[in-house]
Structure 1
Amino acid sequence: MRSTFRRQWLAAALGSLMLVAAPAGAQETYPTKPIRVVVPYTPGGVSDAVTRLVMQKLSDRLKNPIVVDNQAGANGQVGSAQVARAAPDGYTLLVVVAAHAINPSLYSKMSYAPLKDLVGVSQFGHIPLLVVSSAQLPPTNLKDFIAWAKANPKSATFASSGTGSGAQLSAELFAQTVGAEMTHVPYKGMAPALPDLFSGQVAMAFDSVQTMMPQVKAGKLRALAITSAKRWPAAPDVPTMAEQGYASLTGGSWIGLLAPAKTPQAILDKLSTETQAALDSPEVHAKLIEYGIDPVGGTPKQFDTFIQSESKRWADVVKNAGIKLE
């Protein structure tokens, strides 16, 4: 009788251990098939190039194929909605930029809830913006430009790559912070705006170091500030916003990796750890700096917290500027 009871107890205990261990073991085998990473923008842009760079290294580390799939449209909403509706199993992921946190404030109706239907995996990096003005205008530094803008409200214009873009919102936040009345001039991309910036028809703009620094070196634009936390290697003579008394204007855009909500935490953690290792590799780190991106990394929780703070920050700017898109 005692022997029979002991065998039953051991069988029950072993069964319990197997039940507890099974989920962890299942996660340890991830991934076992190709991972699809959606980029909700067209091929060839910075977000696409960065994604392919990081995913190649992540694929090497996971010893598993990763397929990058461009699904552009509606300021990132088309591809993002696909991933929001995907199975939360770690095999469909999404790369987003700052628009992900801004869209809920710009659009009254969306087919998914960006901050609820998607969760953070890892932030790839910050994208500081260079603040430039036309070399045809009198101001040669940020302080003088602010004084000029206040004295010349009709001429105080800023270009952007489109209504609701990060470039517009950064300039709107700048105007709100310094107390200057400035008029937005939207273009279909920043390239069409450059001739008007060169001639002085448009006064200033916020855009990537990679795009604007060559124009500064050519003498067509003046660099007034950069939104990075510290001076940027490719623009060492350009002071930061914080150095000039505007610490609240530090930031710019960013890029990172998300997964559908309810993806198991063990999978998120594994992806985050391996992404961090990919970002820390010398070749990826150097290439990101070349692209004008400050590598970050971090945990899923840290990225979620950051996205929530960004959403609040830009919601206030959108509201104060009265921007709405349909």
Structure 2
Amino acid sequence: MTRLKPKARIRRLLSLSLFAGLAAALPAMAQGDAYPNRPIRVVVPYTPGGVSDTVTRLVMLKLAERIGQPVVVENRPGANGMIGSDNIAKSAPDGYSLLVVVAAHAINPSLYPKMSFDPLKDLTGVSMIGRIPLLLVSSAQLPPTNVKEMVAWGKANPERMAFASSGNGSGAHLAGELFSQAAGLKMMHVPYKGISPALPDLFTGQIAIIFDSVQTMMPLVKAGKVRALAICNPTRWPAAPNVPTMAEAGYPAVTAGSWIGLIAPAKTPPAVLAKLSTEMDAVLRQPDVQAKLIDYGIDPVGGKPEQFQTFIKSEAVRWGEVVKKGGVRLE
């Protein structure tokens, strides 16, 4: 056998290494180019008929039209979204099994220390469908008419400064904890089995404030039953243009609300993720889709997979700190 000279051996090794790298990349590239060539399954980890389910079916119908393949929506509710999420976390990372999640996806790790999967490591972002900001409202039976007055009133009347939520660990609960920490208020949390049962107590002033969606609360504001104090969003909301943001009210850190987005198993090829996010962007730019999402109280977003994954991780850190500082515990 002829022995190669040192320089020749180095050149050959470099060539073999380059070839191996290209060979490894080709399957992912080919999959991205050919993807999708069969139906896609999208799991909604909540019950049918809710906002997340309705929005998913709207968006996935439009996505199917663009990619030329069926997109089958499957409901797998339970355990605050963790049953359906676990199913997708353990599915093949090929782009044919996807998951729609809401803010609980990033919050769950701080509320449930023992999970059967790691939301931040076993799943990865594809596209944020939209943001759903919360509205801070107060009882019309109480004197305060804005956030500054509510904070002053709450400090003077701590025994009456109660806020309601739809349950321990819910978005409304954590928003209240965040506001309490930012404003230096001592508030009593009163969990209900949903927002509707809390409304009579809010109307009479037994509950001082509540955080809920613009879509739910603005009709009550217009009816004079509650006062809109601030929107927990960086910018004012089109459906409530006269309501100031929390930043305008002096509390820029109090941004709260839910969001909804599409994610995939963590090892899904980048080319497939890029294809999905590009098509999702196109869907979310369609005027009829935007109009329907805004009607649901959702601000369409879109964006690249890495942007969404960075956002999810930052939300996990942010709400983890709120949970820890507020001593939030689930029974």
TM-score range, shorter chain: over 0.9
How far apart are the structure 1 equivalents of 2:56 and 2:194?
Answer: 21
How far apart are the structure 1 equivalents of 2:308 and 2:27?
Answer: 29
Name the % identity. 67
* Equivalent pair of 1:126/1:251 in contact (CA under 8 Å): no
TM-score, length of structure 2 as denominator length: 0.91
**Structure 1 gap segments, 5+ residues each:** 1-15
Query: What per-residue deviation string (whole Å, max 9, x for no partner) do you get for residues 185-234 of structure 1?
Result: 11111111111111111111111001111111111110000012211111
Partner of 1:247: 252
The number of aligned residues is 313
**Structure 2 gap segments, 5+ residues each:** 1-18
The structural deviation recorded for 1:23 is 4.1
Match of 2:152 among 147, 155, 161: 147
The structural deviation recorded for 1:45 is 1.1
* Equivalent pair of 1:92/1:259 in contact (CA under 8 Å): yes
Residues 147-186 of structure 1 aligned to structure 2 (within 5 Å) = 147-186=152-191
Letter in structure 1 aligned against 2:275 = K
SS in 1 for 2:92: coil
Partner of 2:51: 46
Query: What per-residue deviation string (whole Å, max 9, x for no partner) do you get for residues 85-143 of structure 1?
Result: 11111111111111011000001211111111100000111111110001111111111
Partner of 2:7: none
Relative to structure 1, the CA distance from residue 286 to residue 110 in structure 2 (aligned partners, 3 Å threshold; closer, same or farther) is: same
Query: What per-residue deviation string (whole Å, max 9, x for no partner) do you get for residues 232-286 of structure 1?
Result: 1111111111111211112422110100110111110100110011111111111
Match of 1:111 among 109, 116, 122: 116
How far apart are the structure 1 equivalents of 2:306 and 2:27?
Answer: 25
How far apart are the structure 2 equivalents of 1:44 and 1:24?
Answer: 38
Is 1:80 aligned to 2:76, yes or no?
no
Is 1:264 aligned to 2:266, yes or no?
no
Name the Cα RMSD after superposition. Answer: 1.7
* Equivalent pair of 1:229/1:251 in contact (CA under 8 Å): no
Match of 1:307 among 297, 305, 312: 312
Query: What per-residue deviation string (whole Å, max 9, x for no partner) do you get for residues 14-44 of structure 1?
Result: xx79956554233211111111111111111
Is 1:71 aligned to 2:79, yes or no?
no
* Equivalent pair of 2:28/2:271 in contact (CA under 8 Å): no
Match of 1:204 among 184, 192, 209: 209
Partner of 2:8: none
Is 1:280 aligned to 2:300, yes or no?
no
Is 1:55 aligned to 2:93, yes or no?
no
The structural deviation recorded for 1:325 is 2.6
Partner of 1:227: 232
Is 1:295 aligned to 2:316, yes or no?
no
How far apart are the structure 2 equivalents of 1:202 and 1:208?
Answer: 17
* Equivalent pair of 2:166/2:172 in contact (CA under 8 Å): yes
